[in-house]
A = this chain, B = another copy of it.
Amino acid sequence: MKLTILGCYAATPRTITNPTSQVLEIRNRMFLIDCGEGTQVQLRKNKLKFSKINHIFISHLHGDHFYGLVGLISTFMLLNRQTDLHVYGPKGIKEIILLQLRYSNSFTGYNLYFHELISKESEIVYEDEKVVVKTIPLKHRIYTNGFLFEEKIGDRKLNVDAVQEYHIDTCYYQKIKNGSDITLEDGTVIPNAEITFDPIQPKSYAFCSDTMYDESIIPIIQNCDLLYHETTFLESEAEKAEKTMHSTAKQAATIAAKANVKQLILGHYSTRYANIDLFQQEAGTIYSDVLLADDGKTFEF
């Protein structure tokens, strides 16, 4: 998996920072998560191909998480996109986008599907043969979901030396990778474990923004490889965090520790802080493996 941070600052776009948007690449799929104003330009700056984005996940309908969406949809139109585009987000997103396209008398030349979310329970919103995406219901001022991206367990790996030793025909290879035992012509049964290795462990990524401290997300994100958790404030502003239903760095780290995730990435910093290292320091007192998101940064895991 490769995560590219297009923007990770709260509230308004500035000359040097961007509101929330990120791209997650998994097994040749490219998912866009949130789409604040300026996302198009950030995609260009980071040399990410617009045409590879087929699924866009929007956490909630605060402007710093989706005001760039209608422009991106329009740009796809101008680029003569043909491929279907799927948008997953809170109820209302379809009305907002279509109203604007209607007034501009615009029609997408591609199929635009909205998958509007209303559930307060975690649910699967996307699934194909390699990836599954579930919502993570979050607690914020308006209806908000995080998203958990999980690779599915892949095929078993062929033990090439072993299959050649048994003179097994290549036409059986996929069956073997799927986990089948093989019966040789003399009737001998070769157990699958003898001719394969375990598949690569699937990875998982949890995006949690915006949210206040909420332990009810822990069962959903338990043991995930990488957790992006918002930390709008430092603990010194805990009161403000609670009032605005955001989190502090300490709270983000506490969730990471309790959910036993492998790594924590912090983001969604309030622009009041000149130095984001303070977030890492504060979170580091609770949880060891803390990374800082920043615009243009990539994380491979």
From A91, which residue of chain B is reached at the shortest CB distance?
B103
Known contacts A38-B41, A68-B37, A70-B63: A142-B104 contact under CB 8 Å: yes
Of residues 72 through 119 on chain A, the ones whose CB sits less than 8 Å from some CB of chain B are: 74-75, 78, 90, 92, 95-96, 99-100, 103-106
Interface residues on A, range: 20 to 34
Once the chains bind, are A103 and B99 in contact (CB under 8 Å)?
no
Of residues 109 through 163 on chain A, the ones whose CB sits less than 8 Å from some CB of chain B are: 141-142
Neighbouring B residues of A70 by C-beta, 8 Å: 63, 67
The reply on A174 being an interface residue by CB < 8 A is: no
The reply on A179 being an interface residue by CB < 8 A is: no
**Considering the chains assembled together, what is the distance between the CA atoms of A15 and B48 in angstroms?**
13
Residue in contact with A63 in the complex, picked from B41, B74, B92, B96, CB distance below 8 Å: B74
A128 to chain B, nearest CB (A): 29
A300 to chain B, nearest CB (A): 24
A7 to chain B, nearest CB (A): 12
The reply on A40 being an interface residue by CB < 8 A is: yes
The reply on A240 being an interface residue by CB < 8 A is: no
Bitwise interface map of A from 236 to 263 toward B, beta carbon under 8 Å scored 1, else 0? 0000000000000000000000000000
List 6 other contacts, CB 8 Å, given A13-B40, A37-B38, A67-B74. Answer: A13-B41, A61-B100, A62-B104, A62-B106, A63-B71, A67-B71
